[in-house]
Structure formats: C-alpha cells, structure tokens
Amino acid sequence: MSNPGLALQKALFDRLSTALATSVFDAVPEDTPYPYVTLDYEVTDNTTPVSGKKRENRLFYLSVWSDYQGQAEVKRINGEIAEALDEVALPLSTGTVVSVRVLRTETNREPDGKTYMGSVTLRIITQH
C-alpha cells in the first residue's frame, strides 16, 4: 500500500468540515474572514517493527485564527476540534488510522494585538 499521508489529510479535512461551523482550509483564500482553521503541517516518524506492516507516528498541527476580542472564540474552536477528533476513528482510502489523540491545545495573541491564534497538536498513528 502507498503512504496514507494524503488520505489522512483528506479525512481530517472532511471530519473537521462537517463537525465545525468554522471554515477549514489547507490553503486560505485571500481576504477570507475570521474565524477559520488551517491544516498547517505534519511530522512523520517511522515506527515500523522489525517485521510486520509499516507503522508511522504522525504529529499533525492545526491552527485556529480569530479576530474576536479576547481568546474565547479560539478556545471554543480548539475545544470543538478536540471533541471532533480525540479518539475518533478516521476512515482512510489508503492505509489505516490506528489512533488519533489530541496532545495539546494552545492560544496566544498575535503581535498585531488584534488577532488570536489557537493551535491543536494531534498524534496520529497510521499503518499500511
């Protein structure tokens, strides 16, 4: 089987697009209004045992962008993402998701003093 990375990204996008009232993007169109969620980046480690199927530990990073005054909107959306993805089975067209876990959520004010960013870190184990 081929690498499930693209199938995983599609499954995450589809799950978040149906579970959230907020728009989800891989590439954000110019002049998109806040709030929105972006699929930011992924880090993959090979954890394949000596024999058996190929297994990978993936850290997938999502960002939440908001211009709401204060952190309330970002925290709410972070929570919705966690509820939508933590320990949820994701069907893939290639490979298998063994586990999805929300490892960390964060919020911070951007340097412009008006925009807030949230982030959600997922640990996803895939096998193929």
Q: What digits encode the pLDDT tens for the residues 62-120?
A: 999 999 999 999 999 999 999 999 999 999 999 999 999 999 999 999 999 999 999 99
Cα separation values, 90 from 16, 52, 71, Å = 11, 22, 29
Q: What digits encode the pLDDT tens for the residues 33-45?
A: 999 999 999 999 9
Pick 5-127's CATH classification: 3.40.50.10490, 3.30.2000.30, 3.30.390.50, 3.40.920.10: 3.30.2000.30
Residue 15's identity, in one-letter code, is: R
Q: Give φ, ψ of 91 to 5 degrees.
A: -75, 135
Q: What is the CA radius of gyration of the chain?
A: 15
- Domain borders along the chain are 5-127
Bond before 35 cis per omega within 30 degrees = yes
